[in-house]
Amino acid sequence: MARRDSASNILYAALPSLSHFLEDYHRAPIKQDLPPVGTHRGAAGARRELRHLGPVADLGPRRTRSQSSDRHVAATALAAALASEHEVDTRAEARKQYLAKLRIVANAVLDAESGKMLEYRQLLRHPTMKADWNHSSANEFGRLFQGIGGRIDKPTNTCFFIHKHEVPQDRFKEVTYGKFVCTVRPQKAEPFRTRLTLGGNRIKYPGDVGTPTADMLLFKILLNSVVSTPGAKFMTIDISNFYLNTPMKRFEYVKLALSDIPEEVITEYNLHEKAVRPSTSRHPRAGASREAPEAHGYYQSPLVHGLWLHKWRPIQFSLVVDDFGVKYVGEEHARHLVDILKSHYKITEDWEGGKYIGIDLEWDYIKRQVHLHMPDYIRKALAELGYTPPGRRQDSPHPHTPPKYGAKQQFASDPDASPVLDKAGIKFIQQVIGKFLYLARGVDCTILPALSSLSSQQAQPTETTLERSHQLFHYLASQEEAILTYSASDMILAVHSDAGYLNEPNARSRAGGHFFLSTDVLHPPNNGAILSIAKIIKNVMSSAAEAELGALYIMAREAIWIRVILEELGHKQPPTPIQTDNSTAAGIINNTVQPKQTKAMDMRFHWLRDRKLRDQLRFYWRPGTLNLADYITKHHAPLHHRNVRPEFLTPQQRLLDLRKAQRAKRAVQTALTITAINAYHAKHASPF
C-alpha cells in the first residue's frame, strides 16, 4: 500500500456480488449497524460509573443515519451499506468544535483509563492496546486478502494488492477510500474486531444495489408468535464473513495509506517492494454457492421482505443481513436449516436465542413469556456523550406544561426565544436523536414523545432544545433498566389510538398509537407493544375531533400492514379492534354522526369507513383513562410517568426472579445428572 502521494500500490478490492447472492437469496436484507447496548441505572449509580471516565475526547461528531422510503420496507443501497460506518468526512468534522464533553464518536473504542474514545489509528499506537488491535487489523487483512500468518483457515480472496498503473484509466475517478472501524464484542470468539469499510459515494456500480430488509416490527411479531405457539422455540444463527464470500461481476478499487496497514501485513505481502500482483483471472475465487434455499423448500414471503418460511416444515425466520432469528417447532427442523447453511458458510448457532439485532432476549417457556432489554445501552451512551447526571431523580423525559385548573382558557406557551445553536450544535441534537431512537423503538417507548419533540426542532435547535436533551439524559439515568415483556396470546392485533390537540409548537397536534397482540374479545387486554407511534400531525387540525380522526387514519393504515404480516405467519385476523376516546370521531366512522368536513377530513373518514365495511377494522369508544395511547401523545408530569410506566414496561425485579428460578432449576438438573452418573459407576464398578 502506498500513501496518497505515492505512485503505486492501490488496494484492488472485489466487493460482494449481487449476481450470485440475489439469485440465490432473493435480496436477503441488509441492515444498518446497530447502536451499542447499555443499561439504565439510577442517577447515583450512573454518576459513580461515569465519574472515573473523565472528559470524553473531542474527536468530532458522528453522522447519524435514518431509513426513509416511500415504501413501508426501505431498500438499502449496497454501496451505502459498505460505507455505512464511515459516512463522516473526518477532515471536515475535525475542524468543528463543540463542547468537548458532549460528543458522540462513531466506531470508536472507549479507553477506560483516560475516558477517551479512540479510533483505529490511535489504537494501533496505544501503549497498552496496540498489540491487540494490530493483531485484529492483520486478521481483517487476512480475511480480505490471501491470509495472514497461517491463522486464517479460509481467506476469501476478496481483495488483491496491485500497482497504481494497473487501475484502468476509465475507472481511475472511481477509486474510493477506505476507513477502518473498530468494535469490542465481548460475546464473540474474536472480541477485538476491525472492519475495513469503503466510501460508497465513489463507487459507481452499474447493477441493482437495493435490497429490502426485515424490520423491528417483523422481529417483534415473530417473538410473539414463538411464545403463543405451543411447543415453539427460538434460536439465532450468525453467518461469518457473509458478504466477503460473495463475488462481484467486476472489481472495485480502493487506496489506503501504508501507515494504516500493520507491519505484519506489510512484511508478509512484501508491500514495500510491491511484489504482490493481482490474479490473472481478474475474478476472485471465493464465492457464495449457487444452490438456493428454494431447493430445500424454503422461500421468502412475496409480501413481507425478510420473512422466510418453509413449504411444509414448521419453521419460520427473519433475516437481517447475516442474522437469522428462527422460530421452530421441533429441533429436527431447525437442524435442517443449520445443516444447509453450514454447507455454504461458517456459522455460529445460539440455541438459547439470547440476543438478536442488539436486543437481549430472556425466555420463560414455562410461563410462555419473553423479556426484551438492552443492558448497558444507557451507561455507554451517556459515557460517549460525556454526560454526568445530577444528584436529584428525574421522572419526566421532557418538560410539561401544567394545566391551569379553573381557568376559562388555556393559553399557548410563549415562542422559544433562546439563541439558535451553531452547526455543531445542530449535529449534536441529531446525534442524540439517532442514539436513543433505536432504544425507544426496540424497548423503551416512554421516551418516544420526547424524541419526537426534539426531532421536530432539529433543523433549528436552540439552547432550550439542548436543555431538553439534557433532561432526557437525566431521565434515562434515573430509571431502572427498561424491560419489554411479551406474553402468550391469540395473536389478534389490537390498537389504541389517541391525539393531543394543539399540544405542539405552531398549533400542531400529536398522534399516538399503541399496537399489541391480544385475544379476540370485545376489549382486548394489554400486552407488550409491538409498535408505538408518537407522531406530530403535519397539518393544523381545526378541532379535537379532526385531530382524533387524523390519528385513527394513521393507526389504521399501519394496522392494515401488520395484518398482512400476521396472516403471512399463519395467524388469521378478525376485524382489528381500534380504541378511541373521542366519541365524535367514533361516531363519524360508525356512521352515527355526519359532520361538515374538509376534503382532507372527508377522505380520511371515508377510507376508515371503507375498511370497516370490509370487516378489516372495528372501531369502538372507551374513556381516556383506559386509552394507553394517551401516554405517548402528551408530555406528562413526573407523577404520571411513575404511575403509568409499569403499564408499558416490566419491573426489573421480575427479570431478576426469573434468572434466580432458572439458576435453581439448572442446579437441580446438574445435581440429578451427577447422582445418575455416580449411581451408574457404582453399579458397574469392578469388584477388583
In tens, the pLDDT along 555-579 reads 999 999 999 999 999 999 999 999 9
Kindly state whether residue 575 falls inside one of the protein's structural domains.
Answer: yes
Q: What share of the chain is helix, strand, coil (3-state, %, to 5)?
A: 35, 20, 45
Of 216-230, 286-300, 335-349, 384-398, where does mean pLDDT reach its minimum? 286-300
pLDDT for the residue 479: 92
In this structure, the answer to whether residues 507 and 636 fall within a common structural domain is yes
DSSP result, 148-184: STT--SS----EEEE-GGGS-GGGGGG-EEEEEEEEE
> Are 402 and 503 contacting, i.e. CB atoms less than 8 angstroms apart?
no
Q: Is 251:282 a contact under the CB 8 Å cutoff?
A: yes
Residue 426 located in a structural domain: no
CATH no. for residue 622?
A: 3.30.420.10
Average pLDDT over residues 9-30: 37
| The pLDDT value given to residue 375 | 92
257 in the same domain as 121:
yes
Q: How many CB atoms lie within 10 A of CB 608?
A: 23
- Strand 109-110 and strand 117-118: the pairing is antiparallel
Q: Residue 601: its pLDDT value, please? A: 65
How much of the chain, in percent, has pLDDT values that exceed 90? 43
345, part of any domain: no
**Same-domain status, 513 and 557:** yes
The reported pLDDT for the residue numbered 631 is: 94
Task: Tell me, yes or no, whether 507 lies in a domain.
Answer: yes
617-621, strands of its sheet edge to edge: 529-536, 508-518, 492-504, 576-580, 617-621
Closest-CA residue to 359 (of 486, 526, 489, 183)? 486
Check whether residue 620 and residue 678 sit in a common domain: no
**Is residue 502 located within the same domain as residue 574?**
yes
55-72 b/e (C-beta count within 10 Å ≥ 16 → b): ebbbbbbbbbeeeeeeee
The answer to whether position 600 is within a domain reads yes
In a domain, 313, yes or no: no
Q: Is position 221 within any domain?
A: no
In the structure, what pLDDT confidence band is assigned to residue 600 with cuts at 50, 70 and 90?
Answer: low
Say which residue the cell 392485533 belongs to. Answer: 493
- Of the pLDDT bands very low, low, confident and very high (cuts 50, 70, 90), residue 686 is low
Q: What residue numbers bound the domain in which 499 lies?
A: 489-648
Task: Mark which of 235, 253, 268 sits at the end of a domain.
Answer: 268
Backbone torsions φ then ψ of 606, nearest 5 degrees = -70, -40
640 and 662 co-located in one domain: no
Cα–Cα separations (whole angstroms), residue 165 to 6, 169, 242, 367, 542: 11, 9, 31, 66, 67
As for how many domains the chain has, the answer is: 3
- Report the predicted TM-score, pTM, of the whole model to 2 decimal places: 0.74
Instruction: Name the band, by pLDDT with cuts 50, 70 and 90, for residue 247.
Output: low
CA 167 to chain centre: 38
**Residue 572 parent element (H or E):** none
In a domain, 639, yes or no: yes
Q: What is the mean pLDDT of the chain?
A: 79
If asked whether residues 204 and 65 sit together in one domain, one would say yes
Pick the residue with more confidence: 474 or 210? 474
Write down the pLDDT at residue 614: 87
Q: What would the pLDDT profile of 527-553 be if each residue is shown by its tens digit? A: 999 999 999 998 888 888 889 999 999
Looking at the fold, whether 625 and 679 belong to one and the same domain comes out as no
* C-alpha of 145 from chain center: 30
More confident residue, 41 or 410: 410
How confident is the model at residue 135, as a pLDDT? 94
Same domain, 543 and 674: no
**In terms of domains, do 544 and 515 share one?**
yes
The CA angle 653-658-664, to the nearest 5 degrees, is 125
Q: Are 499 and 563 part of one and the same domain?
A: yes
Q: Are residues 665 and 578 in the same domain?
A: no
d(CA 219, CA 318): 7
